[in-house]
Each structure stands twice: as structure tokens, then as C-alpha cells.
Amino acid sequence: MILMHGEIYDFENDKNSDSFLDMPKTKQINLFNRWKFKFKDKYVSQLGIKILSESRNGGQFKNIDKSSVLLYKLGINTNRYEAFFKAGASLNEDRDASIGFVFNSSLHELNSYFGLTNYTGNEQSLTGNLIYQTNVFNSENKFNAGLSYNYKNTDEELNATYLDTNIYKTESVPGFFVQYTYSYNRTFTAIAGIRSDFHNSFGNLITPRLHLKYNLNENNSLKLSGGKGYRNADIIAENIGLLASSKKLIFKENLNIEQAWNYGISYTKFFKLFTRKGTFIVDLFRTDFVNQIIVDMDSRYDQVSFYNLNGQSYSNSFQVEVILEPIERFEINGAFRLNDVHTTINEKLQLKPFVNKYKGMLALSYATKFEKWKFDFTSQYIGEAQLPETNMLLEKYQRPEKSPDFFIIHAQITRQFKWWNVYIGVENLTNFTQANPIIAADNPFGEYFDSTFLWGPIIGRSIYAGIRLTIK
């Protein structure tokens, strides 16, 4: 199978007349090629490659201050290459025994500039997993075990007016895992697993997890889950948008690996409404961070500080979702989520910035017979979010403590043919945009400039069309 995607955006739009492009000029091409192999119904394998090349260029395209001849430009050029291989073999059909191998490698190259700041990042990664599974005693008891190896080499260079630094990081993480699954009469399922990874910088990392599912009856089920997770953050790459500001990046200490406990409960009910099937889902999840990399934008207006968590940090998420199919091929999906996310910043437990307290979604999808025509409509509700403090700035640059709530609407029509389809759609139908998203746009090389204060869309109504071609 071959998939290709290309995109060119070469327009200059400045809706709020701040001299900055609302959307960067973009050129992108994606290529995905996958081969599948099968031997004697016992051996299967896949081989594939992915290639991405993208350039984005934005910033100022004209001067507001005619006395200045220097424009604030930004550009991000990305090249990414991936290759993967998957293979599996059936060893014993009576015991449902099999073995599988998954291999993935990638090369990621990034070159960027933001005004007078330059940042380059290169990453090579390799991942391998060997997995074995079999029934134990009977089909109600299943055992999984495996070996894994993860390698990542990162080379970053940051050249700014206040700092020149190189960051080299090599991660080598061999590990193994075991998992036991018990199923009883399609009523109860328990999955218990644990893995151990030896990180060359952070030592042995133990990751337990437990999943329980109980079917109260054929229409009602309850799920419980819990576990631990680790993540080694790439700070600059993950916060690259901060480079498009006058803020200095300050690393107050050596940053440890992030780790957190996550647990939750989920209830699912299947029902009928006027003889048509429906689904009702309620989820409640909580995450407690043992360590988290804090991105402190509040302590000083001219700095962003990174340091390890010193206090509490947690996330509570409650979501209700309803899925209906009132008539054949017409689906309605509605969901509402409440987020309660607090973290300790500068020794104060507070709402985490830029996290929306409420989110809602209503999606309508209809397809004609044989799916020749598809019609999709999506409406999103975005609730208020806590914003970083700006009371230290000049009065004309100060912003409210919270962002307003708003709605976004998207729609698309697709006509499908045997090997290809054509589509047309609109994004942000209501044309809602954040007013004056850039702080101190009139002085981009000054001490108050900040283009990261984004809580809503900056692109208005956008109409698009395209063609998808699939080669098998």
C-alpha cells in the first residue's frame, strides 16, 4: 500500500493587522509505503517506510515601525525518516501460542530560527520488542512475556542572544515484561502486568499495571485500571514555541525523569432508543505526579524556568459520552469533559496554565448507501483556561487571568470512488479568532515580546478541498 500527501500554503493573511502572518507559509510532503507478507497461514510480517519533509515560514512580513529595517522572521524545517518491521509466527494452535517481533527506527532532523535565535535538533532512535504469548492450562488463563530495547540519541544546539549551548543525550534502555490475563465466562477479565527497564541515566524503572473488567450483564460493564508511567522529556523540542518570544530559558537544576501514577474507572451501558442501538460511557481518571518538569512562566515576565516538581501535581478528568445511531448510517456522538489540573509552580499549588476546564464535542456523521457520499459535522466547545500572569508587564500588554469560552465548528463532504476520493470542507465555520494573540507585536525585538500566549484559534474561516489516492 502506498499513501502520499502533499500540502502547499503560500498566502499572506494578517487579520488583526499586527504585521505578523496569521498562518505560516507551509510546504509539506508525506510518503507511506507498506508491504505485507504471509506464509502458510502461520507466519505473517509487515515492512514499511515513512518519510516526512516540511518547511514552515512565518513571522513579520511588513514593518509597522517604518524606522526599523529588521523584520522578525521564523522558520521550522523538518525531515523525518522511519522504517518498521513486524513479524509473527504461530507456534501451537491448541495453546494459542505465538511469538512476535516489532522493530522501529527513525531519524528526525529539525532546523529552525526565531528572530535572532537559532535552534537545531537531531534525533536517532531504535526500538525493538520480542513478545511471546500462550495459554496456561486453558483458554481462561493467558501468559505474555517479552524483551525490549529502546535507544535514542539526541543532539540539540541553541544559539540565542543570551545563551549558546549544546545538549547531547543518549538513552539506552533494555527491559522485559510479564503479563497475566484471567478471563472467566465472558463476565470477568483481569490483566496484571509488570515491566522492568534499566535506564542508563535513571537506573531501574519498575512499571506495574492492573486492569479489571466486569460485565454486570450483556448491556452494562465496569472497568477499573491503575498503573505507573515514566517519561524522559526533551525540554527544548517540546517547548519550541517559547523560542518565539523574548523570554530566556532558565534550567534551574538537573531535570529528573517524569513519573506518575494513573488510575480510573469507566462505566459503559448499551441501550436502545426507538429500536436503535446507543452507547453511554462515563469515565473518571486521576493522575498523581511523583515528579514532573515544571514550566514556570509566572515567576518572571522575562524568563521561563524549568525545574523538578517540589510539591503536588495532579489531574482529575471526568467525561460523559453518548453515541447514537437514530437511523441507518447516521451517527451522533456527543461528549463533555471536566478537567481539574493543578500543579505546584513557584511553591504555590495552582491551576495549570492553558488547560481548559471544560470541553465539549458534538459530531454528526452520515453516509449514503455503500458510503459513496459522507457528510461530517463537528462542533467543539472550549471552556475557560487559566493563563500565565501578566501583571508585571506594561499595562497595554497585560492580559486577563483566564481565557473566554468559545465554540468551533468544522464540516466536510466526501465523495468516495474505488481507488480515490475527493473532499471539500470548512474549518472554523463561525470565524472565531483570538484577538491580538501576540504580546508586544509592535516591538518584536523588545523585552516584552511573546507570541506563545495562545488559547484559541488565530486562523479564521478556512475552506479546503483535496483528493486522496490509495494504491494497493
Query: At which residue does the C-alpha cell 511588513 appear?
Result: 62
CATH number, residue 220: 2.40.170.20
Rounded to two decimals, the pTM is 0.90
Residue 52 in domain: no
Contact 355, 338 (CB under 8 A): no
Nearest to 453 by CA among 242, 239, 235, 300: 242
CA–CA distance, 48 with 7 (Å, rounded to integer) = 22
Residue 388 in domain: yes
CB neighbours (10 Å) of residue 351?
Answer: 18
Contact 256, 202 (CB under 8 A): yes
Three-state secondary structure call for residue 238? helix
Residue 412 in domain: yes
Structural domain boundaries, residue 407: 118-469
CA–CA distance, 439 with 450 (Å, rounded to integer) = 5
Specify the amino acid at residue 305: S
What is the chain's pLDDT, residue by residue, as a tens digit (472 residues)? 788 888 898 989 888 889 999 899 999 999 999 999 988 878 999 999 999 999 999 999 877 655 556 899 999 999 999 999 999 999 988 888 999 999 999 999 999 999 999 999 999 999 999 999 999 988 899 999 999 999 999 999 999 988 899 999 999 999 999 999 999 988 999 999 999 999 999 999 999 999 999 999 999 999 999 999 999 999 999 999 999 999 999 999 999 999 999 999 999 999 998 889 999 999 999 999 999 999 999 999 999 999 999 999 999 999 999 999 999 999 999 999 999 999 999 999 999 999 999 999 999 999 998 889 999 999 999 999 999 999 999 999 999 999 999 999 999 999 999 888 999 999 999 999 999 999 999 999 999 999 999 999 998 899 999 888 776 6
Residue 88 in domain: no
Contact 422, 415 (CB under 8 A): yes
First to last CA, the chain: 4
CA–CA distance, 242 with 460 (Å, rounded to integer) = 23
CA–CA distance, 181 with 139 (Å, rounded to integer) = 10
Residue 54 in domain: no
Give the chain's domain count: 1
